[in-house]
Structure formats: C-alpha cells, structure tokens
C-alpha cells in the first residue's frame, strides 16, 4: 500500500469512529447529546451556579459549622447574677431577627429579656425551661446562614439550553428527579391530633337528681397539685419574714370621710382625662396628702442604718404596692413631694402598666422611702400591712363604704374609708404615727387645704 493511501485511511478512521460514537451517545442520552448535520456531538451547557443535591447538602453543612453563634445570658444588675429561664419564645428551626426576644429569665425582682445579637435560624437550645442560668452562660445557638441555604435549596431546577436545530429535551424522569431534589424544602414532622370519642359514663346514683332538691354540680376530688415557687415569690417571702423579724411592728387606724375627695374627682375627672390622658382616681389625692404629712413628720420617711444610725431624707420616693400574677412588686415613684395630683396619677399609671406587662427594670424597683398599699380595689375593709424594709412605715388604704356617722350631732350616711399605718416602733413613736394619720385625714376631708400647705 502506498504512503498516500495509508494516510487517507488514517484520516478517515477517526472521523468514522467519532460519528459512530455520537450516534451511540445520542441513543443512550438524548438530553445530553445530539447529532446535527455537522456529524459532531453537541453537549448542552447548563447554568454554572447549579449544584447537585449531595454537593449542596455538603455546602450547607459547611456553612452551618462556620457561621454558628451562641446567645448568652445578658448582665442583669449588680446584685443579680443568676435566674431561672422561664420561657423560650422561639424554638429550633425558627428564624429570628437581630434584637428579637428569644427567651425570658425570671430573677428575684424582675424578668430579664434575652435578645439575639444576630439574625439567623435557631439550631439548638442549650438549656431547658426551668433551669437556673448565670450571667454569660450560653443558652441558644443560631446559624447565621440558614436562611440563605434554605432559599438556595428552594430555587427552581436548572434550565437546559437547547442547541439550534435539535428538538430533543431532557427526559421526564430526569426532570422529575431534579425537581424533587432541588425544590422541595425540608419540613418538620407535624403531630397529628386525632379526636377519640369516648362513651359517656353512666350516671351514678349520687349524680341523679331526686325529688328532695337539686344536687350540687361540684364533684369533690382528692387530687393535689404541687408547683414550685417562683424566684420572685421566694424572694418576697424571704423579705417579708425578714421584715417581721427585724422591725418592731405596730399598727394604728383612722377613718376618713371621702365626700369631698369624691366630689373633687367627679368634677374634674373628665377634664383630666381629656387634657392629660389619665384617669383621676383616689391614689393621687392620698399620695399627695401623705407627702404633705411626711414633710411634718420626717421620722416616718427615715430609716435605720447599721442598727444605730438614722437616715433622714429631704425627698420622698413613693413605693406603690402592685399585685402581679408572679407576686407583689413595689415600683418607685421618685420625688413625689414636688408632683401635683395629676402628675402622681400619671406616674402611678405608668408604673402599674409596666408591672402588669413585666417590663419593670431594676431602676424602677430600687430605693423607696415610704409605701402606700391600696387593698380597697379588691373590696378589703381594713388590714395591717407589712413594712417594706428598710423603710420605716407603710400606709394601707381600703374600700370606701357608705356608713352612718355622727356629723354635728346628726346621724348621716357618708362614704367612709379606713386607713392603717404600720410603722417600726424602734424609730417612730405612737404620737408621731397618730399625728401622721390625722394629717392625712385633714387633707383628704378638705382637699383645698392641700393647695396652701
């Protein structure tokens, strides 16, 4: 064979082999190969940002390991270093924004909110509800890239670019498998709640009414429920017992004719509500009368320090006893001596709302030189309040009731209210306590006298 013939065969063989291979690939993988008129196989290109499900899962796990942050217990106060984690507001799998509250910690005095420092998805709760936690302890783990990974996993499947002159498309089976792997996000298993109908129990002879009279609907039970005391309740109990063991308790009573105060309130409550946005109640006049009386009896606004030192104050910080579902708290209204009746009402309303919403801070609860406890809102007639140590006295006011009283030798029905002052007899003498209650009575029975005091 001549050299020219041999060269011709060597040039033709690869071309024939390539054509045969293209035909074979076209029959086996029609979505990847085609044989146009040129006789050369064409491989369809795909989008470069598409990854296989396995590779995508690997990338998400790598991001999870690299972008994990922990949320710790924030500083609470100088005197508070630990608390009980009361509730988690978010659970594993929830996405949280920056500065969003994820947990609440119950301390001896206030509830502390735990906010996130970053946005991300919660991947782990490091403690349980009811556990004792300390300042700086990690309680929640979040993944900063979880939302991005989720959005990528839910992106549509890759589109195959068709070459001109080739009508073939991806096989339906391949399209379905790609769509399942890429577009279906992971979901948490849902708990199915099925209602089970139980047969109605037959009536017992005791529950069947008879002709002798109706039967009570209450069914007695011997069950018991034990609930652990909250830290706030434990702290309150500790403080109250400490007060009883420390102070020399004594209580004195008086009664006040509230006719003039009620008339003053009815004449001005609408104007006060319209101008100042606060309801005019009875705490404002009582607090104002107490402030004026404390000016004249400074020992009741004082306290004992180090067992042998008396601290007299030139200011009056009023502690207002507020009952909340978690226990009794006493937020402080400062500089009460310089406030008007309306300003006192506004301050008390703000403190009461913060107490009910659990938004009190340590600044709201620290201090206080005198306490007023209003038990009349629940219908109490009178009582003996307990001193909020290290204070020296507490004034209790109670329900207003219509009672017959002697007025200028005549019996009249007036709205009367009992007042009680519990004081520490180590510092306050009986004469001073009685004088204080008498002054409060004088100011309340003649509200105009508070304007010139």
Residue 15 lies in a domain: no
Q: What is the C-alpha to C-alpha distance for residues 101 and 90, in angstroms, rounded to an integer?
A: 8
- Of 128, 143, 158, which marks where a domain is finished? 143
- Of 143, 178, 205, which marks where a domain is finished? 143
Instruction: Name 52's Cβ contacts closer than 8 Å, sequence gap at least 6.
Output: 181
Residues 385 and 258 in one domain: yes
End-to-end CA distance of the chain: 136
Letter string b/e over residues 249-271, b meaning 16 or more CB atoms within 10 A of that residue's CB:
ebbeeebbbbbbbeebbeeeeee
309 exposure class (CB count in 10 Å sphere: 0-12, 13-18, 19+): exposed
Per DSSP, the three-state class of 106 is strand
Helices (H), strands (E): how many in the chain? 10, 18
Residue from 226, 234, 225 nearest 106 by CA: 234
Are the CB atoms for 321 and 328 separated by under 8 Å?
yes
Which residues face 400 on adjacent strands? 417
Q: What is the C-alpha to C-alpha distance for residues 223 and 211, in angstroms, rounded to an integer?
A: 31
Catalytic residue among 270, 357, 363, 429: 429
Q: What is the C-alpha to C-alpha distance for residues 316 and 335, in angstroms, rounded to an integer?
A: 5
* pLDDT value for 355: 85
* pLDDT value for 130: 84
Beta-carbon count within 10 A of 282 CB = 19
Check residue 270 and give left, alpha or beta (phi > 0: left; psi -120 to 50: alpha): alpha
Instruction: Name 308's Cβ contacts closer than 8 Å, sequence gap at least 6.
Output: none
pLDDT tens for each residue of 300-336: 999 999 888 999 999 999 999 887 777 778 899 999 9
Q: DSSP label at 161?
A: P
Q: What's the CATH code of the domain at 86? A: 2.40.50.100
Catalytic residue among 64, 111, 118, 425: 425
Which residues face 80 on adjacent strands? 77
As given in the structure block, the two tokens for residue 296 are 């004249």
Q: What is the C-alpha to C-alpha distance for residues 432 and 438, in angstroms, rounded to an integer?
A: 10
Per DSSP, the three-state class of 124 is strand
The size of the chain, in residues, is 453
Q: What's the CATH code of the domain at 434? A: 3.30.559.10
Per DSSP, the three-state class of 402 is strand
Residue 391 lies in a domain: yes
Residues 121 and 246 in one domain: no
Residue 283 lies in a domain: yes
Residue 118 designated active-site:
no
Residue 258 lies in a domain: yes
The residue to which tokens 């004792």 are assigned? 132
* pLDDT value for 435: 97
Residues 93 and 238 in one domain: no
Are the CB atoms for 146 and 121 separated by under 8 Å?
yes
Cα 397 off chain centre by: 31
Residue 41 lies in a domain: no
Residue 193 lies in a domain: no
pLDDT in tens, the chain (453 residues): 555 555 444 554 445 445 445 445 545 544 444 444 444 544 444 444 444 554 444 444 444 444 788 889 888 776 677 888 888 988 998 998 888 888 988 887 778 888 888 888 999 899 988 888 888 889 899 888 645 544 444 444 444 444 444 444 444 444 444 444 444 444 444 444 444 444 444 444 444 444 444 555 556 788 999 988 888 888 888 888 999 999 999 999 999 999 999 999 999 999 999 999 999 999 999 999 999 999 999 999 999 998 889 999 999 999 998 877 777 788 999 999 999 999 999 999 999 888 888 788 888 988 899 999 999 888 899 999 999 999 999 999 999 999 999 999 999 999 999 999 999 999 999 999 999 999 999 999 999 999 886
Residue 393 lies in a domain: yes
Rounded to 10 deg, the angle between the 283-296 and 430-445 helix axes is 140
Q: What is the C-alpha to C-alpha distance for residues 383 and 309, in angstroms, rounded to an integer?
A: 30
Residues 133 and 260 in one domain: no
Are the CB atoms for 123 and 138 separated by under 8 Å?
no
Residues 119 and 262 in one domain: no
Q: What is the C-alpha to C-alpha distance for residues 170 and 190, in angstroms, rounded to an integer?
A: 35
Q: Per-residue DSSP letters for 240-303?
A: HHHHHHHS-EEEEEEEEE-HHHHHHHHHHHHHHHHHHS----SHHHHHHHHHHHHHH-GGGG-E
Residues 288 and 437 in one domain: yes
C-alpha dist (Å) from residue 58 to 47, 49, 61, 280: 20, 15, 5, 66
Please state whether the peptide bond connecting residue 283 to the residue before it is cis, i.e. omega within 30 degrees of 0.
no
- Of 123, 143, 163, which marks where a domain is finished? 143
Check residue 52 and give left, alpha or beta (phi > 0: left; psi -120 to 50: alpha): beta
* pLDDT value for 148: 52
Number of structural domains found in the chain:
2
Residues 248 and 362 in one domain: yes
Residue 226 lies in a domain: no
Residue 317 designated active-site:
no
Instruction: Provide the residue range defining the domain that includes 103.
Output: 68-143
* pLDDT value for 360: 85
Residues 241 and 130 in one domain: no
198 exposure class (CB count in 10 Å sphere: 0-12, 13-18, 19+): exposed
């Amino acid at each position: 064979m001549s050299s020219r013939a041999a060269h011709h065969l060597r040039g033709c063989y690869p071309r024939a082999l390539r054509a045969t291979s293209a035909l074979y690939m076209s029959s086996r993988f029609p979505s990847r190969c085609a044989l146009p008129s040129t006789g050369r196989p064409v491989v369809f290109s795909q989008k470069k940002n598409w990854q296989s499900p396995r590779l995508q899962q690997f990338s998400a796990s790598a991001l999870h390991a690299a972008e994990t942050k922990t949320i710790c217990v924030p500083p609470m106060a100088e005197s508070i270093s630990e608390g009980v984690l009361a509730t988690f507001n978010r659970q594993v799998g929830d996405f949280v924004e920056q500065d969003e509250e994820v947990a609440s910690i119950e301390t001896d005095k206030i509830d502390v909110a735990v906010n996130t420092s970053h946005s991300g998805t919660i991947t782990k709760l490091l403690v349980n509800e009811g556990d004792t936690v300390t300042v700086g302890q990690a309680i929640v783990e979040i993944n900063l890239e979880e939302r991005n990974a989720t959005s990528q996993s839910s992106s549509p499947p890759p589109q195959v670019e068709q070459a001109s002159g080739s009508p073939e498309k991806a096989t339906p089976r391949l399209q379905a498998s790609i769509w399942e792997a890429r577009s279906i996000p992971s979901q948490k298993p849902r708990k199915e709640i099925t209602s089970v109908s139980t047969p109605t129990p037959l009536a017992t002879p005791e529950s069947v009414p008879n002709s002798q009279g109706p039967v009570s609907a209450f069914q007695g039970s011997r069950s018991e429920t034990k609930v652990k005391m909250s830290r706030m309740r434990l702290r309150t109990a500790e403080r109250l017992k400490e007060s009883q063991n420390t102070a020399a308790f004594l209580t004195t009573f008086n009664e006040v004719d509230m006719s003039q105060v009620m008339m003053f309130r009815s004449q001005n409550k609408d104007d006060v509500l319209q101008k100042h946005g606060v309801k005019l109640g009875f705490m404002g006049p009582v607090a104002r009368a107490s402030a004026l009386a404390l000016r004249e009896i400074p020992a009741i606004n004082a306290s004992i320090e180090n067992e042998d030192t008396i601290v007299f104050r030139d200011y009056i910080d009023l502690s207002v006893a507020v009952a909340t579902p978690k226990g009794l708290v006493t937020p402080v209204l400062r500089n009460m001596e310089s406030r008007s009746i309306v300003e006192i009402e506004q301050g008390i309303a703000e403190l009461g709302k913060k107490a009910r919403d659990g938004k009190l801070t340590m600044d709201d609860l620290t201090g206080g030189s005198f306490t007023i406890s209003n038990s009349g809102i629940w219908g109490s007639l009178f009582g003996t309040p307990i001193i909020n140590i290290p204070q020296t006295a507490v004034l209790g006011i109670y329900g207003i009731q219509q009672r017959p009283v002697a007025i200028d030798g005549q019996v009249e029905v007036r709205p009367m209210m009992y007042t009680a002052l519990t004081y520490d007899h180590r510092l306050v003498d009986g004469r001073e306590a009685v004088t204080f209650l008498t002054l409060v009575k004088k100011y309340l029975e003649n509200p105009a006298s508070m304007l010139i005091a």
